[in-house]
Amino acid sequence: MGSAGNCDGLPESQMTRRELLKLWGTGLCALCTVHLFSFPETPRAQMAKKGLIRTKLSPYFTSLDGGAIQCNLCPRQCLVPKGKRGFCRVRENREGKYYSLVYGNPCVIHLDPIEKEPFFHVLPGTASLTLSTAGCNFQCKFCENWEISQAFPEDVYSHEIPPKLVVKKAKEMGARSIAYTYAEPTIFYEYMFDTAYLAKKAGLLNIIHSNGFINMNPLNKLCEVLHAAHIDLKGFTEAFYHELSGGELAPVLDTMKTLKQKGVHLEITNLMIPTKNDDMSVVKKMCLWLKKELGADTPVHFSRFYPLYKLKRLPPTPVSMLEKAREVALSSGLEYVYIGKVPGHEGWNTFCPKCKKMVIQRTGYMIREIHMKDGKCEYCGKPIPGIWT
């Protein structure tokens, strides 16, 4: 399948994710969605607009005295007075009830290669319909999608695209999966869950790229319709999370363990930021934890940092540093270790940990060769973890 085009007529592969998001933030890419979706069923969806479009009552809150509520969706457990919003900016207390303000209102919806999410062990070479709303429950100083993740829903151009229509169009466009990504999918949980429920019934995979900062009850419910998760393990110290993300490490570790226990395919990215989380002794500690708690066969991606948002004065991650981290991970016993955002590097390919031969060769987001049969290495027969059919 060819790559999706953008509103400048360029192939999507020639645009960075951040460039695409800039267009969405200004509303220029609204035309892309109209072209991509051709919404005859919902005329209002043809016109992207700023402002709130649709809301939905959240199932995850507790009513308190005086009309206040406590959100139970993520570990922040926000206490929200009447008429106010939570930390994520997309949930509001209206007369003692807590509402999602972004239900069915994506500001980004696009057809991407699944490798872009990045999933390297899920249906290689297939297309995924990706969507996101504004908002996030973190404030990462290095966020590459900050134009939407740190925005209020009123600040971006959104469409009205209900779950049923998302699934219908995904099938029509030949997508094999729906990816909830770009900003943090936890904050548009209701929209994600309802879409995922219909997608699973329609034979599509549901995949998320998340920071993993979610409470156990909503996570367990989500696992009923979730096939694969890619979690950003941003660092391996609480100090890093507090300083650079405004979050906590422990709940993220719990999320990854739960996903593994529930049988959800799991991949992990560690964005390596110079001077911030590049201590190889900490990387070693992280890799040993991943091996013990999640298994040696859990794919791990060490991704290259580029200066942006609030960390513009830092240099890009040296490729040699990523290579060193990969060496540490492999020597710690992890079997599938990748180097992200360095196209053409050997670390983009998948190697069988038993016979050491290449089983998947990638050039950028394109699959060049696959040497697997029935989920096993074509050369030695070792099972390769993932979702292959």
Query: What are the tens digits of pLDDT across the range 275-318?
Result: 999 999 999 999 999 999 999 999 999 999 999 999 999 999 99
Q: Which segment of 29-33, 190-194, 378-382 scores lowest on mean pLDDT?
A: 29-33
Give dist(CA 211, CA 324) in Å, integer: 24
Same-domain pairing of 70 and 185? no
Give dist(CA 333, CA 291) in Å, integer: 7
pLDDT the model gives residue 140: 98
Nearest to 132 by CA among 184, 205, 57: 184
- Out of 79, 100, 121, a domain closes at 100
pLDDT the model gives residue 20: 46
Query: In the predicted model, is pLDDT for residue 2 greater than 60?
Result: no
Query: In the predicted model, is pLDDT for residue 36 greater than 60?
Result: no
Nearest to 231 by CA among 251, 246, 216, 217: 251
Structural domain includes residue 202? yes
Q: What is the mean pLDDT of residues 340-361?
A: 96
Question: What's the CATH code of the domain at 226?
Answer: 3.20.20.70
Number of neighbouring beta carbons within 10 Å of residue 98 = 24
Query: In the predicted model, is pLDDT for residue 13 greater than 60?
Result: no
Give dist(CA 254, CA 247) in Å, integer: 14
Q: What is the mean pLDDT of the chain?
A: 90
Percent of the chain predicted with pLDDT > 70? 88
Range of the domain at 79: 59-100
Query: In the predicted model, is pLDDT for residue 124 greater than 60?
Result: yes
Structural domain includes residue 178? yes
Same-domain pairing of 216 and 159? yes
Task: State pLDDT tens for residues 85-122.
Answer: 999 999 999 999 999 999 999 999 999 999 999 999 99
Give dist(CA 351, CA 45) in Å, integer: 44
pLDDT the model gives residue 53: 87
Structural domain includes residue 145? yes
Same-domain pairing of 240 and 110? yes
Task: State pLDDT tens for residues 60-70.
Answer: 999 999 999 99
pLDDT the model gives residue 4: 33
Same-domain pairing of 201 and 324? yes
- Out of 328, 357, 380, a domain closes at 328
Q: What share of the chain is helix, strand, coil (3-state, %, to 5)?
A: 30, 20, 45
Same-domain pairing of 94 and 119? no
**What CA–CA distances, in Å, run from 92 to 58, 115, 161, 294?**
10, 35, 21, 36
Global model pTM greater than 0.85:
yes
**Number of compact structural domains in the chain:** 2
Same-domain pairing of 150 and 177? yes
Same-domain pairing of 184 and 286? yes
Helices (H), the chain: 17-26, 30-37, 146-149, 163-172, 189-201, 216-222, 238-240, 250-261, 280-294, 319-331
Structural domain includes residue 275? yes
Structural domain includes residue 368? no
Same-domain pairing of 66 and 150? no
- One-letter amino acid identity for 252? V
Nearest to 377 by CA among 386, 365, 364: 386
Same-domain pairing of 77 and 188? no
Structural domain includes residue 361? no
- One-letter amino acid identity for 336? Y
Give dist(CA 31, CA 48) in Å, integer: 8
Burial of 11 (0-12, 13-18, 19+ CB in 10 A): exposed
- Out of 280, 305, 328, a domain closes at 328
The torsion of the CA quartet 11, 304, 235, 113, rounded to 10 degrees, works out to 20
Same-domain pairing of 113 and 255? yes
Same-domain pairing of 253 and 191? yes
pLDDT the model gives residue 12: 37
pLDDT the model gives residue 119: 98
Structural domain includes residue 350? no
Q: Are strands 97-100 and 91-94 parallel, antiparallel or unpaired?
A: antiparallel
Question: CB within 8 A of 125, min separation 6: which ones?
Answer: 113, 114, 115, 366, 367, 370
